[in-house]
A and B are shown apart, each in its own frame.
Chain A
Amino acid sequence: MLNIFMNFKLLLFYFLVVNTNNIDYQPFFKEFGDDISKMIRPPKEYLEYSNIDFYYSQLIKIKVDNKYNISSIKVSDGSSEWFKEDIEMLVKKGRVNFDKFNRLAKKNKIKNCELILPVEIVSDNYPKINCKLYIPNQNFYMFDNKNLAGTIIFGNRITISYSYAGIKK
């Protein structure tokens, strides 16, 4: 009986290690980032006046449950208000294609984790020394007033660059 139990433990350990190592998260991050970057826009005033440069650094958290389904999409507490509102609106209005991302999660065996996508939003002339820099505040790594914790996977940061005319590059 003990042997069976030990073998089962080894098998479980092997299963977990092999599964963790085989998962490729980046296709999910890339697809999600591509979709999001087409739909968000910095505040209008930043896109109309040529004397304003800007830089924003934000975090998006995508929670995937044990059935490969996205259970929530949230923006870190330290993100700027306009960014939070944009993402919340996209989720609320069903503009995020959950079906597509659920399928992608299943295809890539992504489950029981929280995916963190760093997003950088910059004006086209960045980097510039006199750029209006959005310095992440104390809550940058917090979501719903709690520090980020658990099984977490970070993705490669995506950069969204805007020209002054408001046309995304």
Chain B
Amino acid sequence: MKKILTILLFFYPIVGFSQQDTNLSSFVRSIERLYNPLPIIKDSNCFYNNALLMVVFDSSYKICKMQLSDNAASWNISEFERIKRKLDYTSLTKYAKENNFIGKLLFPIVIRRGLKNCKYEIENHNFSSSLFSFNNILLNGNIRFENPIVITSMEMTGKN
């Protein structure tokens, strides 16, 4: 009995998280393909927008919540709402199962337009503390950040 408890306690911290990586590319690609901020930023020469997308997995590895961080602009939220149903979730759920991941997966979403030395038209909300909060609660718990999803189309980089 003691041995069983020892084993359970020993493995407790890693039950919810494993470092093993799985490919999330189909989910990321679907965001890159569908997210379209161009109508909002078409008049800006330099534009920068930064938010976090949180995906929460429950104990059965199902997605129980998806949300943008509190700093997200209203157009950002409505754009995400528009594409939410069209996203490819297969790689996400597979990822959670294969990694025994129960917790919060975070995707930084960066939208930028402009050249390297661009003087950005800064929107104050981009870097506010609310970048790290969801419904006024600062990020906490079992968390894993993924690589940022950077949305820069040809139009947005001003190449055409």
Residues of A that sit less than 8 Å from B by CB: 1, 5, 8, 55, 57, 112, 116, 118, 120, 127, 129-133, 135-136, 138, 140-142, 147-157
Which A residues touch B37, using CB under 8 A? none
The answer, yes or no, to whether B48 is at the interface (CB within 8 Å) is yes
Contact B17 A152 (CB under 8 A): no
Residues of B that sit less than 8 Å from A by CB: 1, 4-5, 13, 17, 19, 48, 50, 106, 108, 112, 119-122, 124, 127-129, 131-133, 138-148, 150
Give min CB distance, B86 to chain A, whole Å. Answer: 26
Bound state CA distance, A99 and B36, in angstroms? 51
Which B residues touch A151, using CB under 8 A? 13, 141-143
Give min CB distance, A19 to chain B, whole Å. Answer: 13
Taking CB as reference atom, which chain A residue is nearest B140?
A: A153
Give min CB distance, A129 to chain B, whole Å. Answer: 6
Residue of A5, A132, A142, A154 contacting most chain B CB atoms (<10 Å): A154
Contact A154 B139 (CB under 8 A): yes
Contact B13 A149 (CB under 8 A): no
Contact A147 B147 (CB under 8 A): yes
Assuming the contacts A155-B138, A156-B138, asked whether A140 and B108 have C-beta atoms less than 8 A apart, the reply is: yes
Which B residues touch A147, using CB under 8 A? 144-147
Contact A5 B13 (CB under 8 A): no
Contact A148 B143 (CB under 8 A): yes
Contact A149 B147 (CB under 8 A): no
Contact B119 A130 (CB under 8 A): yes
Give min CB distance, A169 to chain B, whole Å. Answer: 18
Beyond A5-B5, A55-B122: 8 further Cβ-contacts under 8 Å? A5-B1, A120-B127, A138-B148, A141-B106, A142-B145, A148-B143, A152-B140, A154-B132
Contact B121 A129 (CB under 8 A): yes
Taking CB as reference atom, which chain B residue is nearest A149?
A: B144
Which B residues touch A1, using CB under 8 A? 1
Which B residues touch A132, using CB under 8 A? 119
Bound state CA distance, A127 and B127, in angstroms? 11
Bound state CA distance, A116 and B129, in angstroms? 12
Contact A131 B17 (CB under 8 A): no
Contact B145 A141 (CB under 8 A): yes
A-B contact pairs, 21 of them (CB 8 A): A5-B4, A118-B131, A136-B50, A140-B108, A147-B145, A148-B145, A149-B19, A149-B144, A150-B143, A151-B141, A151-B142, A152-B139, A152-B140, A152-B141, A152-B142, A153-B140, A154-B132, A154-B133, A156-B138, A157-B129, A157-B132
Bound state CA distance, A133 and B117, in angstroms? 10
Bound state CA distance, A155 and B131, in angstroms? 12
Residue of B13, B108, B129 contacting most chain A CB atoms (<10 Å): B129
Give min CB distance, B8 to chain A, whole Å. Answer: 8
Which A residues touch B138, using CB under 8 A? 153-156
Which B residues touch A127, using CB under 8 A? 122, 124
